[in-house]
Structure 1
Amino acid sequence: MRENWRIKVSVVAGVSALAFSALMAAPAVADEAADGLQEVQMPADVKIVEGLAPVAGADAPSLEPEADAPFSAAAAAKAAPAANTCLGSTAAYGSKGCFQHNGDIVWAGDTQKDGMSAAVGVYTDYGRAAEVCINKLGVNTWATCNKDYRETGNVRLRVFRYDGDTGKFYQPENWSGWIPVDGKY
């Protein structure tokens, strides 16, 4: 009887800890209002790149929130992404970002009219210095930063807000998982 009690207490404690960690670690989604932006400290060596308007006729990703689609790891492994597919789509309040493996293009989308710009940080798994692609084109627009990453490497995206007047970055922020530069998962 005493052993059952210990098991029940352990289960309740575990569930409570899991619920608390999920509550504390949940990132803001694209359409949540910011309860006050908090400054993000960036390393001094991070290069800031101003994004350009996509070339005419480019197949831009959608700025609309994405519906939760069922995921099949087996289907994803078999299906090779199209050349213009935007991988690692990631969003936080006011910003959306993704990576197009054909051409190594970083897309930064601005989804909020708040006087700030969308920012998409790009980090590699092979030691290349981090860069941030800034979209200064205004709300409901995409900007692109054309890069050249090592084909055998992976990139990870970090989306957040940027205030061009002060040169400061703000959260809420969100990170993508690792994205293969060659597009082959």
Structure 2
Amino acid sequence: MRERMRGRWAVLGGVAALAFSIPTTAPALADESAPALQEVSVPAGAEVIRGTAAVPGAEPSRVGLFAAAPSSSECLGPVAAYGAQGCFQHYGDTTWSGDTVADGMSAAVGVYTDYGRASFVCINNQGAGTWATCKKDYWEDGDVQLRVLRYDGDTGKFYQPEAWSGWIPADGQF
């Protein structure tokens, strides 16, 4: 029963996240300027981790504006906002952070849990058009939620636009 309800809520959460993220994921036209950046905060005590450059050829494939499955595993909860994309690969507990805009800022993917583990943020400071990964060990019965946003490494501040995923089962079983 729990698994069935979990699946229904996950699907509903994913649909809601997609509906709310569509306006923020439209690419800027050539004559449009980047959206105004507004500073946002992450939870106090959130660990900020510099992502490891993804191995060439292992980057998630592109489906529309979202990152999809890496070559042999699923990448769940794809979410995107201006300049950043992210997803969660349950096998190996890997967070993917993609930087999509050459604007001097880094892509950031915050990871939150539903069981009280401290949140962390995976920073991709490899430059535009790249992917970085961060690994953490998650409780298999828990869920994670992703938040993509921009990060200024010079000031250590985070900025909107941002987008959230729905809750994603850490074990990948919806």
Q: Normalising by structure 2, what TM-score?
A: 0.77
Any idea what SS the aligned residue of 1:114 has?
coil
Deviations 1:14-66, CA, capped at 9 Å, x for gaps: xxxxxxxxxx99751152453310000223311100000123553x2135634
SS of 1:155's partner is strand
The partner residue of 2:130 within 127, 141, 146 is 141
Post-superposition Cα deviations, 1:1-24, rounded to whole Å, max 9, x if no partner, equal: xxxxxxxxxxxxxxxxxxxxxxx9
Matches for 1:1-185 after TM superposition, within 5 Å:
28-29=24-25, 31-32=27-28, 34-55=34-55, 58=58, 60-63=59-62, 65-66=64-65, 84-185=73-174
Deviations along 1:160-183, one digit per CA (max 9) or x if unpaired, are 000000000000000000000110
Contact 2:149 2:163 (C-alpha < 8 Å) held by counterparts: yes
> Cα offset for 1:105?
0.2
CA distance in 2, matches of 1:35, 1:170: 11
Decide whether the 8 Å contact of 1:151 with 1:181 is kept in 2.
yes
Report if the CA contact (8 A) 2:105-2:153 is conserved: yes
- The structure number with the bigger radius of gyration is 1
Q: Which residue of 1 aligns with 2:6?
A: none
For the structure 1 residues 94 and 174, does the alpha-carbon distance in structure 2 shift closer, same or farther, using more than 3 Å as the test? same
Contact 1:159–1:173 (CA<8 Å) still a contact in 2?
Answer: yes
Give me the whole-angstrom Cα distance separating, in 1, the residues matched to 2:79 and 2:124.
15
Contact between 1:31 and 1:94, CA under 8 Å: does it hold in 2?
Answer: no
Name which of structure 1's ranges 125-134 and 34-43 shifts more when overlaid on structure 2: 34-43
Q: Distance in 2 between matches of 1:142 and 1:26?
A: 21
Give % identity.
61
Q: How many residues align?
A: 147
* Larger relative strand fraction: 2
Q: CA RMSD in A?
A: 2.2
**Cα deviation per residue 1:52-83 (whole Å; 9 max; x = unaligned)?**
0123553x21356348xxxxxxxxxxxxxx96
Q: Distance in 1 between matches of 2:72 and 2:62?
A: 19
> Residues 111 and 139 of structure 1 are in contact (CA less than 8 Å); yes or no, is this contact kept in structure 2?
yes
